[in-house]
Amino acid sequence: MIQQFKKIERIKGELELRGDKSISHRAVMFAAMANGVSVICNCSDSEDVRSTMDCLEKLGCKFEFLDDSIKVNGKGFKGFSKPENDLYAGNSGTTARLMSGILAAQDFESVITGDESLSKRPMGRIVEPLKVFGSDISVSEKGIMPINIKPSSTLKAVNYKLQVASAQVKSALILCAIHLDEESVIIEAIPTRNHTEKLLGLRTEKDSSGTKIFVSKKNYPQPFEITVPSDISSAAFFIVLALLTRNSEIVIKNVSLNETRTGVIDILKQMGGIIEVENLIESKGEKVGDLRVFSSNLKNISIPETIIPNIIDEIPILAVAGAFAEGNFRITGAKELRVKESDRIKSLCQNFARAGLIVTELEDGFELDGKASIENIIFDSCGDHRIAMAFGVMSMLMENGGKVNDFECVGVSNPNFVEQINFLNSSP
Ligand code: S3P
């Protein structure tokens, strides 16, 4: 489906977004692991989290969808049953990688597959460290799906230093180690999102080598109730649109403001964005607050490479902000973008070039120069939800609007994007 966007003159209003995708994946998995009934409010309604629920249903877990919550009947320690078929993770790297950690510790065989995009993404990054824990897990020679997991009698607790700055890899190892009597220590040199540690209440220690995360069977989840805060990664698209549209002011309610995720706000503020945090509270270890955003004049800044894992999902929309800001946008140290739902360095460079910007593609980033000059073009979503929404926003900032192809892929993280834009655009 080609989605057409007109230039937006002004946006206004108060927006409630569905729950953070990363926290929702984990809430659903931990509830399924716990022994008894858990309740999840404001769970993400994304296709990705649905993929996690589908996999857990095939392992015997039951979900009851109530008006304002999901009731999860958890299976308890090693209570999952052998799936009759392969587990299909769809487009979701988080589903495939975190479920691999859980399944590596079960007493039955399982196979995880995914869609065309996920089937190209690197899985060696979880397979190698899970083998260090003694698990029997393998992928194809190229390090891609299907992921084949067999029961292992040699599982053992280990001290493991992460080789890649990835919350998905870290979480896969934690979820395997949480089935073991002895304590494992997972060491993370570069901080990545820490929702797994927070939701499970894991002990962590910081020293010169980074953060040490301690985990054993003692940390196995118990039934719980949670209200998932709104997704900051989905909010980022509306924040940038509000900053760059004249006479605009929006409020996004109850946004997850976990410090491993707020790099996008820090950068936009440094660029001159007026973003205020209101009603800040802490709930289940996670900070939550309302974001009030005003039209602003943005200037490009130098983005430090150390912040990249914190902003990895927001780089597409930050680049759109950079394309309309004073000065040139440049990002480096972001090679991980090449192994996301699409090769996001390529996807971004191709689309910015289509709009008439001068683009320099680097191995680990890119640079943008000039101004968007070619109007009402069709941007290519590359089947990637964040690319689709980023160029949807770009279209709404261009004089004659623009179009984005295969726009339905936004359902992977936010099926309500167009509705939410229409709401903000029509508020008095
Ligand atoms: C996620 C971690 C990040 C992020 C992804 C969600 C998670 O991936 O890009 O969208 O929920 O753990 P990596 O850990 O592979 O960087």
Residue 425 Cα to ligand 1 midpoint, Å, equals 31
Distance 66 CA to ligand 1 centre (A): 28
Asked whether 385 lines ligand 1 (CB < 6 A), one says no
CB 73 within 8 A of CB 61: yes
Domain 21-217 in the same topology as domain 3-18+229-426: yes
Q: Is 234 in the pocket of ligand 1 (CB under 6 A)?
A: no
What are the pLDDT tens digits along the chain (428 aa)? 999 999 999 999 999 999 999 999 999 999 999 999 999 999 999 999 999 999 999 999 999 999 999 999 999 999 999 999 999 999 999 999 999 999 999 999 999 999 999 999 999 999 999 999 999 999 999 999 999 999 999 999 999 999 999 999 999 999 999 999 999 999 999 999 999 999 999 999 999 989 999 999 999 999 999 999 999 999 999 999 999 999 999 999 999 999 999 999 999 999 999 999 999 999 888 999 999 999 999 999 999 999 999 999 999 999 999 999 999 999 999 999 999 999 999 999 999 999 999 999 999 999 999 999 888 899 999 999 999 999 999 999 999 999 999 999 999 999 999 999 999 998 77
193 in ligand 1 pocket by Cβ < 6 Å? yes
From the CA of 312, how far away is ligand 1's center (Å)? 8
Q: Measured between alpha carbons, how far is residue 293 from residues 55, 247, 269, 309, 310 in Å?
A: 38, 11, 10, 24, 21
Q: Which atom of ligand 1 is nearest to the CA of 165?
A: 16
- CB within 8 Å of 180: residues ≥ 6 apart: 105, 133, 155, 156, 157, 216, 217
CA distance 168 to 96: 9
Is 58's C-beta closer than 6 angstroms to any atom of ligand 1?
A: no
Pocket test of ligand 1: the residue of 312, 335, 340 to mutate, having most ligand atoms within 8 Å of its CB, is: 312
Give the whole-angstrom CA distance, residue 390 versus residue 402: 12
Q: What are 212-263's pLDDT values in tens digits?
A: 999 999 999 999 999 999 999 999 999 999 999 999 999 999 999 999 999 9
Distance 194 CA to ligand 1 centre (A): 10
In 213-314, alpha helices (H):
232-244, 263-270, 308-311
Chain mean position to CA 277: 22
Output the pLDDT for position 279.
98
CATH topology of domain 21-217: UDP-n-acetylglucosamine1-carboxyvinyl-transferase; Chain (3.65.10)
User: What residue ranges do the domains of the chain occupy?
Assistant: 3-18+229-426, 21-217
Candidates 9, 415, 6, 20; CA nearest to 252 is 20
Pick from 9, 43, 10, 12: nearest CA to 26? 43
Query: Which is the closest atom of ligand 1 to the Cα of 340?
Result: 9
The pLDDT of residue 373 is 87
Q: Give the global pTM.
A: 0.98
Residue where the block lists tokens 């599982």: 155
Specify the pairing of strand 62-65 against strand 69-75: antiparallel
| Assigned CATH for 3-18+229-426 | 3.65.10.10
Among the atoms of ligand 1, which is closest to the Cα of residue 98? 12
- Tell me if 167 CB under 6 Å of ligand 1: yes
Q: Calculate how far, in angstroms, residue 193's C-alpha sits from the geometric centre of ligand 1.
A: 8
Nearest ligand 1 atom to alpha carbon 233: 10
- Whole-angstrom Cα distance, residue 155 to residue 84? 24
Is the CB–ligand 1 distance for residue 312 below 6 Å?
Answer: yes
CB 179, CB 158: distance < 8 Å:
no
How many other CB atoms are found less than 10 A from the CB of residue 110? 25
Q: Ligand 1, residue 196: give the atom nearest the CA.
A: 12
**Quick one: tokens of 208?**
């010169």
Axis-axis angle for helices 385-397, 232-244 (nearest 10): 10
Kind of pairing between the strands at 274-283 and 329-331: unpaired
Extract long-range pairs of 354-360: CB within 8 Å, 24+ residues apart: 354/379, 354/380, 355/323, 355/379, 355/394, 355/398, 355/402, 357/323
Which residues are catalytically annotated?
A: 313
Give the Å distance between the CA of 94 and the centre of ligand 1: 6
**CB of 313 closer than 6 A to ligand 1?**
yes
Instruction: Work out the number of other CB atoms within 10 angstroms of the CB of residue 84.
Output: 6
| 49 Cα distance to chain centroid | 11
Cβ atoms of 281 and 229 closer than 8 Å: no
